[in-house]
């Protein structure tokens, strides 16, 4: 089992971020992913209650991370389509791959924050339209990574004789990760482009339907389903006492009250996007195994209770505890 982390760092200084990703590498995580936001927000696109919280631009941070780490893979989870022109993103990602000596995973998705699109004057398209746009972006980026020149005439992008030099280090190109939930829109894009996927959601049955849809699309496209690394993202909330399944929502609601977050909204957010674990570290590995490795997943991406503008100290304490008490057991699966 590959063990990765998702570093949010909302409201952190650059020095805190740098210290965090360097320690994360020392703790033994295989990969460190970052979010890609213009400002803090809920995953459903509603601006975060603390609108004064700040985040750094992700690809600038990834460049610094590439230069100040040595081993772990790095990348966004995820960069939303429409945020950057694919010709520019091909150039940016090539530079990060070179600086990191070939450790970039380019994570991309269809986007889920209407407020951030509106802030830049970019229309927030319907899901089917965003799917087309994402496919076009990945086509252009992959072509620019691998071809001398790229010409592409699509619905959203028209590219003529675009040149990307120098090329990335990884051959034939850097890893592409596609994050999605559901079975309707993005499994076809993932089957066409992805080297790994991250399937979102807390409902195992829905997640497995999304997995089955990917397998079906791979079969239709002649792609080897087994060569795609499958991952899930989990939010870890460590407690001193064991929390029974029927009490998880109560624990989440209590945490929401502590950070002045709407309890119903926080429960809904977790159910929609993240696999939650609430309980002591002693039971974490086995609980995560049942919902990842036992279901055919090879990567777990963990985030430490990042609801609200979580503090550097609280987050790093959680990563340290996870690395010491949970990660060794996950490695066995």
pLDDT the model gives residue 240: 83
Degrees to nearest 5, angle at CA 180 with 37 and 326:
80
pLDDT the model gives residue 238: 86
pLDDT the model gives residue 204: 94
Question: Of 9-13, 55-59, 67-71, which gets the smallest average pLDDT?
Answer: 9-13
Average pLDDT score, the chain: 91
CA R_g for the chain: 19
Rounded to whole angstroms, how far apart are CA atoms 247 and 241?
Answer: 12
Of the ranges 107-121, 134-148, 250-264, the best mean pLDDT one: 134-148
Q: Give yes or no for residue 113 having a pLDDT over 90.
A: no
pLDDT the model gives residue 6: 96
Read off the pTM: 0.93
pLDDT mean over 284-291: 95
pLDDT mean over 176-204: 95
Q: Give yes or no for residue 110 having a pLDDT over 60.
A: yes
Torsion over CA: 41, 42, 48, 54 (sign) = negative
Q: Give yes or no for residue 188 having a pLDDT over 60.
A: yes
- Asked if residues 287 and 277 have their Cβ atoms less than 8 Å apart, the reply is yes
Task: Centre a 10 Å sphere on the Cβ of residue 123 and count the other Cβ atoms it contains.
Answer: 10
pLDDT mean over 298-302: 97
pLDDT the model gives residue 241: 82
pLDDT mean over 51-61: 85
Q: Give yes or no for residue 198 having a pLDDT over 60.
A: yes
**CATH node for 2-242+276-331:** 3.20.20.30
pLDDT the model gives residue 202: 87
Rounded to whole angstroms, how far apart are CA atoms 183 and 304?
Answer: 28
The tokens describing 260, both together, are 């002045």
Task: Centre a 10 Å sphere on the Cβ of residue 13 and count the other Cβ atoms it contains.
Answer: 12
Domain ranges of the chain: 2-242+276-331
Q: Give yes or no for residue 306 having a pLDDT over 60.
A: no
pLDDT the model gives residue 295: 97
Share of the chain above pLDDT 70, in %: 93
């Amino acid at each position: 089992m590959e063990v990765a982390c998702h570093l949010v760092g909302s409201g952190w200084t650059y020095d805190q971020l740098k210290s965090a990703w360097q320690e994360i590498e020392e703790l033994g995580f295989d990969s460190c992913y970052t979010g890609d936001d213009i400002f803090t927000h809920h995953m459903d696109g509603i601006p975060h209650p603390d609108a004064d919280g700040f985040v750094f631009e992700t690809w600038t941070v990834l460049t610094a991370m590439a230069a100040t780490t040595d081993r772990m893979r790095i990348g966004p989870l995820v960069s939303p389509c429409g945020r950057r022109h694919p010709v520019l993103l091909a150039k940016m990602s090539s530079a990060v791959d070179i600086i990191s000596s070939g450790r970039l995973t380019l994570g991309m998705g269809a986007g889920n924050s209407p407020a951030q699109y509106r802030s830049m004057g970019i229309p927030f398209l319907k899901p089917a339209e965003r799917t087309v746009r994402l496919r076009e972006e990945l086509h252009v980026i992959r072509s620019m990574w691998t071809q001398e020149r790229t010409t592409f005439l699509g619905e959203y992008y028209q590219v003529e004789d675009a040149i990307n030099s120098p090329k990335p280090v990884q051959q034939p190109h850097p890893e592409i990760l596609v994050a999605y939930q559901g079975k309707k829109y993005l499994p076809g894009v993932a089957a066409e482009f992805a080297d790994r996927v991250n399937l979102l959601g807390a409902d195992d049955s829905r997640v497995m339907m999304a997995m089955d849809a990917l397998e079906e699309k791979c079969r239709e496209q002649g792609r080897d389903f087994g060569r795609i690394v499958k991952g899930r993202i989990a939010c870890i909330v460590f407690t001193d006492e064991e929390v029974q399944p029927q009490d998880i929502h109560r624990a989440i609601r209590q945490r929401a009250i502590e950070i002045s977050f709407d309890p119903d909204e926080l429960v809904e957010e977790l159910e929609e996007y993240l696999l939650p674990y609430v309980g002591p570290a002693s039971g974490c590995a086995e609980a995560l195994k049942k919902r990842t490795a036992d279901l055919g997943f090879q990567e777990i991406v963990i985030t430490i209770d990042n609801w609200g503008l979580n503090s550097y100290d609280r987050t790093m304490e959680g990563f340290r505890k996870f690395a010491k008490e949970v990660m060794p057991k996950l490695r066995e699966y």
